[in-house]
């Protein structure tokens, strides 16, 4: 090599090193080893059940948007209807063997005929919940919790419009018709079980003293009722006509529905634990038919000061803690039996854990909990669909309103005052604090516009860090300053350098990204990302209901 060549290469090297974002000489992307922290499940919260008479149990999966078949002997699960058509809150069999299910968020009533054809037979009924056929083949459904409280009669073939039978019964949930052609079901708002004459609309109480009764079914001889109380975790037998109650089995809280087999075995779904249990009413014994460890894992956070890298997990039906190294799952708070409000995102700081939910229709809120005790510190209603939320040093909350495209501040004072920091974002979902900045700022993922944006907290000034992404959701700051993002649209986990926008791929071909559902703001069930002090990356899988880690390879 000549001296000229040496001088040329030296000058080229100097220029390259001086240029920001010179990729040719940048350090190669670090390799990661993918590992399972908590194995997955077939469901994303299991709800309505029905025995099909062929040795199987039909199980509805609302957030996973699917209807499943469970073998009663083995517990093996198969999918009958996948997303997005199968968003079922409850499921029933028609006289001809057709399967019917209710779309709580979509407001659609669905039918799948024995030849496998699926179609909508009623729509524009938000909050569709329970359904049942009367002995003569007439079909009834209820609305509750999303703007209406009503009982409807529906044409099973979908040729006639639905007819409202009863208004404001008190949130009539999982019901069944009795041998007297009366409808028996729980009234959630009244804590009682009642019977309804669908011809006259007359409601008569059958049994009182429940906390959150969610469903009833007759026993195999159709003489008495089994009732499940979600808040107490109880299976109760109500003897008719006296209405006297007896406890059959004690179960975990979070029960959602039940079905009774021809042998009088009682199948009980639990949305919080995402499992199905079988109760033998003869002796009260309980066994698991389908077991899960997580329900709907979404947003996650790891405290930077935690050497054990405990993962705080927003599991939609519970707020949990998971050992990042050993995978042990601890219960922090469960919906229905505690004030916890369907957590879908979570962040953590030195004192508090902040959980937020994007549910719309009056269920959206932000909750601040004491990190040491788990006690609820404050609840802030947030009707615009809160995705990620961070608590700043002064107690102010910074919230990504995915539906409105705004980043807002919520004051620490009571009553809370909300002010807009920036608007016009393309579906903000994830937030990560820019902790090393001279002026405080936050990084935001925009699921609709495919950007990562840096927003300065003093004045809302923003800068695009990266663009051209496909549905970025979860975001976390690496200890070395890099950003780790779940790029859900491309099923991959990427690292982005905040100063240059340079992108490298950590993992691809990931099982993430359940399709969005009606009634939710952008981001739906967010894929969560967190990074521990060791540099290990944690990520949730909404498709598999699992938690993974990506460990740096030395």
One domain for residues 225 and 92: yes
* 262 Cβ neighbours under 8 A, 6+ residues apart: 51, 53, 220
On whether the CB atoms of residues 487 and 504 are closer than 8 A, the answer is no
pLDDT, position 16: 36
> Is residue 379 domain-shared with residue 469, that is, in the same domain?
yes
Looking at the domain assignment, is residue 253 inside a domain? yes
Residues 121, 258 within the same domain: yes
Boundary (domain end) residue, out of 243, 268, 290 = 290
If asked whether residues 282 and 320 sit together in one domain, one would say no
**Nearest-5° Cα angle at 204, 235 to 170:** 70
290, 306, 334: which is the final residue of a domain?
290
Q: How many CA atoms lie within 13 A of 191 on its CB side?
A: 6
Q: What is the DSSP string of 173-189?
A: -B-EE-TTS-EEEEEGG
- If you write DSSP's letter for every residue of 331-398 in order, what string do you get? EEEEBTTSSB----EEEE-SSEEEEE----SS--EEEEEETTT--EEEEEE-TTTEEEEEE-TTS-EE
Task: Retrieve residue 342's tokens.
Answer: 């369907």
Strands 406-410 and 397-401: what pairing?
antiparallel
At residue 18, the pLDDT reads: 35
Give the DSSP letter of residue 490. Answer: G
Are residues 266 and 217 both part of a single domain? yes
Entry pTM: 0.90
DSSP string, 179-220: TTS-EEEEEGGGTEEEEEETTTTEEEEEE---SSEEEEEE-T
Say if residue 278 is in the same domain as residue 299: no
Nearest to 102 by CA among 87, 117, 85, 112: 87
Is residue 122 within 8 A of residue 142, CB to CB? The reply is: no
128 and 243, same domain (yes or no) = yes
Strand ordering across the sheet containing 255-260: 255-260, 266-270, 275-280, 285-290
Element (H, E) at 100: strand 99-102
Say which residue the tokens 């981001």 belong to.
523
Which domain does 413 fall in, by range?
30-40+295-552
| Domain final residue pick, 243, 271, 290 | 290
- Give bridge partners of residue 370 from the DSSP assignment: 352
Residue 10 lies in a domain: no
The one-digit pLDDT tens for each residue of the chain (554 residues) are 444 343 433 443 333 333 333 333 344 578 999 999 999 999 999 999 999 989 999 999 999 999 999 999 999 999 999 888 888 899 999 999 999 999 888 889 999 999 999 999 999 998 899 999 999 999 999 998 766 899 999 999 999 999 999 999 999 999 999 999 999 999 998 999 999 999 999 999 999 999 999 999 999 999 999 999 999 999 999 999 999 999 999 999 999 999 999 899 999 999 999 999 999 999 999 999 999 999 999 999 999 889 899 999 999 999 999 999 999 998 778 988 888 889 999 999 999 999 998 875 556 789 999 999 999 999 998 878 789 999 999 999 999 998 899 999 999 988 889 999 999 999 999 999 997 778 899 999 999 999 999 999 999 999 999 999 999 999 999 999 999 999 999 999 999 999 999 999 999 999 999 888 766 778 889 999 999 999 999 999 999 999 999 999 98
- Domains contained in the chain, number: 2
Q: How many Å apart are CA 257 and CA 479, to the nearest integer?
A: 45
Q: Is 488 inside any structural domain?
A: yes
- The answer on 237 and 130 residing in a single domain is yes
Asked if the structure places residue 212 within a domain, the reply is: yes
Tell me, yes or no, whether 160 lies in a domain.
yes
Residues 423 and 302 in one domain: yes
The CA distance from 474 to 13, in Å, is: 37
Look at residue 2 in the predicted model and tell me its pLDDT.
41
As beta bridge partners, residue 382 has none
In a domain, 255, yes or no: yes
Tell whether 280 and 325 lie within a shared domain.
no
Q: What are phi and psi of 11, to 5 degrees?
A: -65, -40
Which token pair is 3? 């001296």
If asked whether residues 534 and 464 sit together in one domain, one would say yes
Q: Are residues 361 and 400 in the same domain?
A: yes
Sign of CA dihedral 362, 366, 370, 371: positive
Question: The domain spanning residue 408 has which CATH number?
Answer: 2.120.10.30
The answer to whether residue 107 is domain-embedded is: yes
């Amino acid at each position: 090599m000549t001296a000229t060549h040496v001088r040329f290469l030296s000058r080229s090297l100097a220029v390259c090193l001086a240029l920001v974002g010179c990729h040719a000489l940048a350090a190669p992307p670090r390799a990661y080893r993918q590992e399972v922290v908590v194995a997955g499940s077939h469901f994303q919260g299991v709800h309505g059940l029905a025995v099909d008479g062929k040795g199987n149990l039909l199980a509805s999966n609302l957030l996973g948007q699917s209807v499943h078949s469970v073998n009663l002997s083995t517990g093996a699960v198969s999918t009958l209807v996948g997303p997005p058509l199968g968003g079922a809150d409850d499921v029933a069999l028609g006289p001809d063997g057709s399967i019917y299910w209710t779309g709580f968020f979509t407001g659609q009533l669905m039918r799948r005929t024995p030849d496998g054809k699926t179609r909508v037979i009623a729509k524009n009924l938000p909050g569709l919940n329970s359904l049942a056929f009367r002995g003569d083949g007439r079909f009834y459904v209820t609305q509750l919790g999303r703007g209406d409280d009503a009982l409807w009669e529906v044409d099973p073939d979908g040729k006639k419009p639905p007819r409202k039978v009863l208004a404001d019964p008190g949130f009539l949930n999982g019901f069944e018709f009795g041998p007297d052609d009366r409808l028996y079901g729980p009234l959630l708002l009244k804590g009682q079980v009642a019977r309804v004459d669908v011809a006259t609309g007359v409601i008569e109480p059958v049994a009182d003293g429940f906390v959150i009764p969610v469903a009833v079914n007759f026993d195999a001889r159709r003489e008495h009722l089994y009732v499940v109380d979600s808040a107490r975790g109880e299976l109760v037998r109500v003897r008719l006509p006296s209405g006297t109650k007896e406890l059959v089995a004690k179960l975990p809280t979070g029960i959602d529905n039940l079905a009774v087999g021809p042998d009088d075995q009682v199948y009980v779904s639990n949305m919080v634990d995402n499992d199905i249990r079988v109760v033998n009413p003869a002796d009260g014994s309980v066994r698991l038919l389908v077991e899960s460890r997580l329900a709907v894992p979404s947003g996650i956070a790891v405290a930077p000061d935690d050497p054990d890298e405990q993962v705080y997990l927003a599991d939609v039906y519970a707020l949990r803690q998971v050992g990042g190294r050993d995978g042990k799952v601890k219960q922090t708070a469960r919906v229905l039996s505690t004030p916890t409000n369907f957590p879908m995102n979570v962040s953590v700081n030195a004192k508090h854990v902040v959980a937020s939910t994007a549910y719309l229709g009056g269920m959206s809120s932000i909750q601040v909990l004491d990190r040491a005790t788990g006690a609820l510190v404050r609840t802030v209603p947030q009707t615009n669909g809160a995705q990620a939320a961070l608590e700043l040093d002064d107690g102010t909350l910074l919230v990504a309103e995915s539906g409105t495209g705004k980043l807002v501040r919520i004051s620490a004072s009571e009553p809370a005052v909300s002010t807009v920091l920036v608007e016009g974002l393309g579906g903000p979902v994830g937030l990560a604090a820019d902790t090393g900045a001279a002026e405080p700022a936050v990084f935001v993922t925009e699921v609709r516009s495919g950007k990562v944006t840096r927003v300065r907290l003093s004045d809302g000034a923003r800068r695009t860090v990266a663009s051209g992404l496909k549905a970025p959701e979860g975001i976390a700051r690496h200890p070395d300053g890099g950003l780790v993002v779940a790029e859900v649209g491309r099923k991959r986990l990427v690292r982005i350098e905040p100063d240059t926008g340079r992108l490298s791929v950590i993992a691809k071909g990931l099982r993430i990204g359940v399709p969005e559902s009606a009634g939710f703001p952008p981001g739906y069930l967010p894929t969560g990302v967190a990074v521990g002090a060791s540099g290990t990356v944690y990520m949730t899988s909404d498709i598999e209901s699992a938690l993974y880690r990506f460990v740096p390879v030395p």
